[in-house]
Structure 1
Amino acid sequence: MAPETSELTFRTAGHGDVPALVALVESAYRGDASRAGWTTEADLLDGQRTDAEAVAESIDRPGTVVLLAEADGELLACCLLESRGAAAYFGMFSVRPERQGGGLGRAVLEHAERTAGELWGAEEVEMTVIGQREDLIAWYERRGYRRTGIRSPFPYGDERFGVPRQPDLYFEKLTKTVAI
């Protein structure tokens, strides 16, 4: 399928975007609606992925930007970038489930990598991915990310991150060197 990015525009999120952002993130990862796309975590986690308070805190956090990808004023995707010295952390990456698989996610990821370099001179982009998400990790590897082998525990007992459906979840750190 050809990328559907010709009309894509990017902007920074503000507080007025919080409800739409929460709805987008939840639709991409949780519940039956997320199963329309391939990034669902519904088999691994129940509960919420984020909430309005967490998204608003991200928008306000110094050294952090939440990017929105829109077409004709419609929110299609988002991500978070956070400056971490020579690196930028990439997270909260969400694409509307019915728009996944058409190149939109790749376009957003590439824009985020350029933005990290332009804003902060980041030489590397890093992220954490649930280790059991082999299909998603493979997608990132095809885009130049590498597995570091660095793992961190899933925050069991903190329902702000979801309710695990299995006892062995963990995060794995991925990194990519980006041109500045």
Structure 2
Amino acid sequence: MDIAPAQDLGRLTFRDADDADVPALVTLIESAYRGDSSRAGWTTEADILQGQRTDPDGVRQVIETPGSRLLVVERGGVLVACCQLEHRGEAAYFGMFAVRPELQGEGLGKVIIAEAERVVRADWGAAEMHMTVISVRDELIAWYERRGYRRTGRLTPFPYGDERFGIPQRDDLQFELLVKDLG
């Protein structure tokens, strides 16, 4: 699916990921959140988490799970972003959102999340979009709030000891559920 340009972003193309995309998607997601490359953007988690953000098995699982989609976002045939959408009854879950660090701050994120919301309303009839964000990520939560998401105060523990999710650099990490009414 194509969408019209927003600001000066050029034409973005959205499509469902397949197995051939897995290596590039892992690289994109890691670059947006972990390690020195992530510091080029503002979504880095490098100061609170070390280690991996995802791996090929995790990405493949999102692609292959029924009711789940991993959207690949390309500009000019080049992978620039991705996001996970999962059908959860009346709601949809938004996750695994990554934009190439050097492109962050150009407005891509706003366009991508708006398209993700449109897709889950149109394809699944979702009335709400849910996501979880590490609760200490104040700047990121504020960005989502400006997009209409609200904090719920519903917290779940960070999976300490499971290095598939990274190696915490602090002991106060937990996830907070954010919700947006798509009506």
Structure 2 counterpart of 1:156: 160
- SS of equivalent to 2:29: helix
- SS of equivalent to 2:46: coil
Structure 1 counterpart of 2:171: 167
Aligned length: 178
Equivalent in 1, 5, 8 of residue 9 of structure 2? 5
State whether structure 2 residue 16 is matched by structure 1 residue 19: no
State whether structure 2 residue 99 is matched by structure 1 residue 95: yes
Structure 1 counterpart of 2:87: 83
1:77-132: CA deviations, max 9, x gaps?
A: 00000000000000000000000001101111001001111111000000000000
Contact 1:3 1:104 in 2 (8 A): no
Equivalent in 46, 52, 62 of residue 48 of structure 1? 52
Q: CA deviation at 1:168?
A: 0.8
Please give the TM-score of this superposition, normalised by the length of structure 1: 0.97
* Structure 1, unaligned runs of 5 or more: none
1: CA distance, partners of 2:8 / 2:124: 28
**Aligned-residue RMSD, C-alpha:** 0.9
State whether structure 2 residue 103 is matched by structure 1 residue 116: no
Q: How does 1:56-75 map to 2 (within 5 A)?
A: 56-75=60-79
- SS of equivalent to 1:62: coil
Contact 1:4 1:104 in 2 (8 A): no
- SS of equivalent to 1:81: strand
Please give the TM-score of this superposition, normalised by the length of structure 2: 0.95
Q: CA deviation at 1:174?
A: 0.2
* Structure 2, unaligned runs of 5 or more: 1-5
Q: How does 1:118-137 map to 2 (within 5 A)?
A: 118-137=122-141
Q: How does 1:20-35 map to 2 (within 5 A)?
A: 20-35=24-39
- SS of equivalent to 1:23: helix
Deviation >4 Å, runs of 4+: none
Q: CA deviation at 1:4?
A: 4.0
2: CA distance, partners of 1:139 / 1:89: 17
